[in-house]
Structure 1
Amino acid sequence: MVLSRFWLAIFISSIAFVVFSLFSGGNYTIDHVLNGKKDDPILISEKYLEQVPAFVKDSIKNAPEQTMVVNRDTINADTTYVFQNKTVKIYSGVQKSDGLLPTCKNSLLDLIIPLIAYLAFFCGIMELLIISGAAEKLARQLSPMFAKVFPSVPKNHESISYMTLNFAANFLGLDSAATPFGLKAMESLQAINPEKDKASDAQIMFMCLHAAGLTLIPTSIIGYRAAENAANPADVMLPCILTSFIGTIAAFLIVGIRQRVNFKSASLLVALMTIIAGIVGLLFYINTLDLIGKNFFTSNLSGLMLVAIIGFTLIFSFVNEKKFVAHDTTIFDTFVTGANNGLKTGVTIFPYVMGMLVAISFFRNSGLFEIISNGISFVFSNIGVSKEITDSLPVAMLRPFSSGGSRGFMIDAMRTFGPDSFTGRLSSIFQCSAETTFYVIAVYFGSIKVKNTRYTLSTMLLVDLICVITAILVASWFF
């Protein structure tokens, strides 16, 4: 219900703002909102040739393509004059994201089709884990701890293994694997949910822990920093780990208090201490490596772990092939069955993803997001927050809405202020330490057709805010 109202609010407010801007002279056309593509120039005016300044008129006439570009620099957008069909079209600035119609198309071509491919493969792997008995063994081992965090989940339930694999994939920065595991976990939790149209306590806890995005190896962030020629691309790794870990603990405490989780449980404390000890130990090891060693380790650990999971699954399935025979199937046929289920899941979630992405696209291209972002930055700057922090806030603000949009702001911040500037590093931590909240809710709850998400959205946004505040404090401490 909350998500539905929010979706309506950003859509209706964006439409109202676009119409107001058009008739008040703020926008010359709204075509870019509907049909424009990201980074395309925006049409701001159209004049007759006699109405433009004389130097522009002469330059257009002498130009081979009857086009003139002024204000050429690397920071501000160029203003372009194009003479065509007896008028001069004036373009300035670039579009922040795709318009409504390209977003509809690209959400299918660039997002859903690759996602369906990932879902098909990893759901096939998960089906092997189920039939071979590996999922059951993993659930049995982790049940004592999960029973404290998810008291409504039955002992040794298959959802435990799926949630574990999802957390592990997020932990290692394996986004392509994390989503299929997470969707399978939600589907499994839905099977034991007594109210099918309403999010269960276990689903809310899982979603909020997932939203904190506990990450050990932020491979994509390191890659972007390396591409921008950072002196030490991995220097934000420890701040990213600390920020996401604090966000995860905050999510657990906030939801746990509401669900009356027993925080004094010995098994829960042991598990928490083990995780902390493992993170600290790995960080100490990484700190002993030189720059090349760190880059080699961070770039290969995630990939090796994914290969290890796939390899273990196949070998374990082969060793336990008799279980497949008992189910009147083969290892390959079981994989195909799981892949087919992943394909169906991808088709199911497409409308939810498209609806959310189109609303966010409209929100950004309307100019309303930019006004809100600038307003918040202005308020922060007037209460004493440094400009280095306010310059990176657009990344934090857009992160819950759009991963691609916030990533664009992060890259822009690194190019504008430098990858080794405080703004460049803080933007990287913002990008790493939170989840794309609205997209995740639409995908995960859409896959199981849960309409009432209860307090999931408000809690996830609160966790996002905690991650933002923590990122600022941690970045200030380190840099």
Structure 2
Amino acid sequence: MLNALWLGFFMVAAVSALSQWLVGGNAQIFAAMVESLFAMAKLSVEVMVLLFGTLTLWLGFLRIAEKAGVVEALARWLSPLFARLMPGVPRGHPALGLMTLNFAANALGLDNAATPIGLKAMRSLQELNPHPDTATNAQILFLVLNASSLTLLPVTIFMYRLQQGAADPTLVFLPILLATSASTLVGLLAVAAVQRLPLLSPIVLAYLLPLGLGLAALMALLASLSAAALAQLSSLLGNLTLFALIVFFVAVGAWRRVPVYEAFVEGAREGFDVARALLPYLVAMLCAVGVFRASGALGYLLEGIRWCVEGLGLDTRFVDALPTALVKPFSGSAARAMLIETMQSQGVDSFAALAAATIQGSTETTFYVLAVYFGAVGVQRARHAVGCALLAELAGVVAAIGVCYWFFG
């Protein structure tokens, strides 16, 4: 899928450039495309410099949390919920703890740290699978919740906004929180409807009801605020939550007599390795997206969508954020490249860039998650996993656009 998407960017760009040259007489289009290639390669390195620091910093603090038992305690706390939602998994099975660790890493915005844990969880679930080529109900629920990706701290998106010169990188904190909550809720409800899960059981309600009431109270509070106050509150909560979590990790680590400095360095070393491995993928996708825009192909696509939206009598400002949404189901690196490119071309604090950042944080990469997680255990029949995951992704995108009009419109 990723090979086809990357090749498609270049092939469509080539056709678009040839049409501009042969039909429109624009002989400079090829120079613009080559210039874009080198510009995007340079931008990739600039982004990676900050990404090195961000991943190194954050994985260092996460390692302190792991050694202090914070993540393990979270796993124990959530295990009864997942045991109820996944009746096919025996109580105390290692998969429950691994899934909880995976969700915790996703919630903290640590996508690269979450994937290895998630693969271990999927392999553990596969041990319980009586039909190895067909996904079980537990595997489907785990995958859909992974694809909807509830993210409480979208650290990497803050980092991209900082790198592009945003005055307040955490401005999108609350919009992303609301959009990703909508995505996860729809994903859970979709799977629950198909699998007839007991969402109204006392144990499940004991976990989900306080969360739902908390979100409802937050929505009620936000509804009473002006746009300027919303932006200010989002900034305050984003920065306060991030710093408070770091202090909490360090304080608990010190209380548990963890050598916090050594633990941080150990985790930071892993973060450095993860960031280094991402550079080739970032260069590949940013260059492909740069050529796609420079050829005029992206402009044609967006103008077509804009024309349809105008025909419906709707506001068209969100259209420039749609490239991120369109490629997100197929490739996280391509969506990341589209987000960065939108920030550069539209302005980091433009409505389009804010909407693209919110879309990027609202869901995961559906087909990538399907391919990696099911491919790792040899599952070929996904059953209702694809439909439920795509429904959750659509809900996240729609919610992201709506929330951005609410906050920044």
TM bin, normalised by shorter chain, reads: 0.5 to 0.7
Q: Residue 302 in 1 paired to residue 235 in 2?
A: no
1:372-425 CA distance string (max 9 Å, x none) = 44433333333333222334333433444422322431454346xx64x5x565
Q: What letter is aligned with 1:409?
A: T
Match of 1:208 in 2: 144
Q: C-alpha distance in 2, partners of 1:476/1:159?
A: 40
Q: C-alpha distance in 1, partners of 2:230/2:188?
A: 35
Q: C-alpha distance in 2, partners of 1:113/1:233?
A: 19
How many percent identity over aligned positions? 23
* Maintained 8 Å contact 1:170/1:215: yes
From the superposition, tell whether residues 355 and 410 of structure 1 become closer, same or farther in structure 2 (CA, over 3 Å): closer
Matches within 5 A, 1:141-180: 141-171=77-107, 174-175=108-109, 177-180=110-113
From the superposition, tell whether residues 438 and 119 of structure 1 become closer, same or farther in structure 2 (CA, over 3 Å): farther
Q: Residue 463 in 1 paired to residue 392 in 2?
A: yes
Q: Residue 246 in 1 paired to residue 179 in 2?
A: no
Q: Residue 382 in 1 paired to residue 382 in 2?
A: no
Q: What letter is aligned with 1:260?
A: R
| 1:392 maps to which of 296, 307, 321 | 321
1:302-325 CA distance string (max 9 Å, x none) = 23214423543564476xxxxxxx
Gaps of 5+ in 1: 1-5, 29-43, 47-78, 80-88, 319-330
From the superposition, tell whether residues 158 and 308 of structure 1 become closer, same or farther in structure 2 (CA, over 3 Å): farther
Q: Residue 433 in 1 paired to residue 373 in 2?
A: no
From the superposition, tell whether residues 364 and 148 of structure 1 become closer, same or farther in structure 2 (CA, over 3 Å): farther
Q: C-alpha distance in 2, partners of 1:116/1:27?
A: 43
From the superposition, tell whether residues 135 and 7 of structure 1 become closer, same or farther in structure 2 (CA, over 3 Å): closer
Match of 2:195 in 1: 259
Q: What letter is aligned with 1:406?
A: L
Q: Residue 276 in 1 paired to residue 212 in 2?
A: yes
Per the normalisation by structure 1, the TM-score is 0.60
Per the normalisation by structure 2, the TM-score is 0.68
- TM-aligned CA deviation for residue 193 of structure 1: 1.0
CA RMSD of aligned residues (A): 5.3
1:227-250 CA distance string (max 9 Å, x none) = 5458x974x554433322111110
User: Which has the larger Rg?
Assistant: 1
Matches within 5 A, 1:338-377: 358=284, 362=288, 365-366=291-292, 371-377=300-306
From the superposition, tell whether residues 257 and 425 of structure 1 become closer, same or farther in structure 2 (CA, over 3 Å): same
Q: C-alpha distance in 2, partners of 1:140/1:229?
A: 39
Secondary structure of 1:389's counterpart equals helix
Q: What letter is aligned with 1:190?
A: R
Q: What letter is aligned with 2:400?
A: A
Q: C-alpha distance in 2, partners of 1:438/1:114?
A: 29
* Maintained 8 Å contact 1:97/1:365: no
1:68-87 CA distance string (max 9 Å, x none) = xxxxxxxxxxx9xxxxxxxx
Gaps of 5+ in 2: none
- TM-aligned CA deviation for residue 190 of structure 1: 1.2
* Maintained 8 Å contact 1:7/1:359: no
From the superposition, tell whether residues 137 and 335 of structure 1 become closer, same or farther in structure 2 (CA, over 3 Å): same
Q: Quick one: higher RCO (CA 8 Å, sep 6+), 1 or 2? A: 2
- TM-aligned CA deviation for residue 150 of structure 1: 2.8
| 1:408 maps to which of 323, 326, 341 | 341
From the superposition, tell whether residues 113 and 193 of structure 1 become closer, same or farther in structure 2 (CA, over 3 Å): farther
* Maintained 8 Å contact 2:183/2:395: yes
More off after superposition, 367-376 vs 264-273 = 367-376
Q: C-alpha distance in 2, partners of 1:440/1:393?
A: 21
How many residue pairs end up in the alignment? 386
From the superposition, tell whether residues 312 and 239 of structure 1 become closer, same or farther in structure 2 (CA, over 3 Å): same
Q: C-alpha distance in 1, partners of 2:59/2:207?
A: 32
Secondary structure of 1:183's counterpart equals helix
Q: C-alpha distance in 2, partners of 1:199/1:247?
A: 22
Q: C-alpha distance in 1, partners of 2:166/2:50?
A: 25
Q: What letter is aligned with 1:413?
A: Q
